[in-house]
Amino acid sequence: MALEFTNEHVVGVVVFVIVLMCCKSILECIQILLALLKDCTCICDYSCAYNLRVYSQTALLFFNAVQPIVMCLAGAFRAAFTGQHPQSRVGLVELSFNASDPSQAGGLSVSLQSVDLHFAAIPFSMLACMSTAAWVNLAKAHLFDKDPVWDESLFEHDERIWIYETLYYAEIFGMCVALLAASSVPQPSATLLYMSTTVTALLVVFTCASRYPNHSRAGLCITSTTFAMLCAIVSTFAYTALDTACAWSVLCGATFVLTVMAIAIFHHIAAGNLPAGSIILLRTLLSNACSLVLIATLAGGRTSGCGGLDSPPWQLDLASGH
């Protein structure tokens, strides 16, 4: 059975983005940015540096707001310009066992189901929109005035920042699911969710550690052990589960590895010393980079040369060896 992303889903995503914009979170981001940038110093004395920074940050937030719609229409854009209709699908393995005759090897069968990649990429883009809307609302409430330090006192000053932090945790989970689904060979959905949950939990450790100094030996021991576990999981995925036969899968896999390492290392370096603007900017840049890779994968069509996903779902009978 193939699970396809239809026009009804596109309408739902568009309605979600419109509702988010009507909440004034995204519509007022330009005014908030201009207010925040008044106290910022330019790299040089020329007005072009100021204008470039304003335009780039505005474009960054605008893309973050509309990325779900762009993901929905990525394939349509390519079809409009090239005449080709790409279909990006991922394979999920399902195991079935005949409990009435467990002694026979033939009782175990494997089936491959084709699932549209949109169902993994769109939720991630929606969570990215929601987390951006959360910190924009906090900026409107003057929580980030004068670019405070990202430490435990910031979270004690206004507990609403925990809403943004929780949404960012969910965004990390959505990113892991989307990139792992786009880059791995067909595997059970439980394995995909387990790996995504494990990587997310380890990254949450680093995001929490970013608010506290890491001078103690106990803290360094915890973060070092966590980083070693994270490296072991990521390297195991790259060695055993990465679909090297597909260029789009390799691109998504490399993006997943680099993004996970960047989030862990940067938050470890923060250690309660970096300003909040730097933390949020890095998170937004990494999220948008992952979105761009997923948009390119959806536009390019992951089915070409990717594990035989162009063929209909198949079944494997272990007894016959086929």
The position carrying tokens 């229409």 is 73
| pLDDT for res 301 | 76
Q: Taking phi first (over 0 means left), then psi (-120 to 50 degrees means alpha), and beta for anything else, what does residue 295 get?
A: alpha
| pLDDT for res 318 | 40
Q: Which tokens go with 171?
A: 């965004």
**Of 145, 143, 173, whose CA–CA distance to 161 is shortest?**
143
| pLDDT for res 198 | 94
| pLDDT for res 201 | 94
Round to whole Å and give the CA distance between 42 and 31. Answer: 19
Residues 6+ away with beta carbon under 8 Å from 320 = 106
- For the chain, which residues make up each domain, given as ranges? 2-317
Which class in CATH covers the domain with range 2-317? mainly alpha
Residues 6+ away with beta carbon under 8 Å from 245 = 305, 306, 307
| pLDDT for res 147 | 81
pLDDT tens-place values along the chain, 322 residues long: 455 555 555 566 666 566 655 555 555 555 555 555 555 544 444 455 555 666 666 777 778 778 888 888 877 776 666 666 666 777 777 766 666 655 555 556 667 777 888 888 889 998 998 888 888 888 877 888 788 889 888 888 778 889 999 999 999 999 999 999 888 888 888 888 999 999 999 999 999 988 888 767 777 888 888 999 999 999 988 888 888 888 888 899 999 999 999 999 999 888 888 888 889 889 988 999 999 999 988 888 776 455 444 444 334 444 444 4
What is the reported pTM? 0.78
Alpha helices in the chain (DSSP H): 7-22, 29-37, 47-72, 74-82, 118-140, 152-157, 161-183, 189-209, 217-240, 247-270, 276-300
Residues 6+ away with beta carbon under 8 Å from 86 = 75, 78, 79, 298, 299, 300, 301, 303
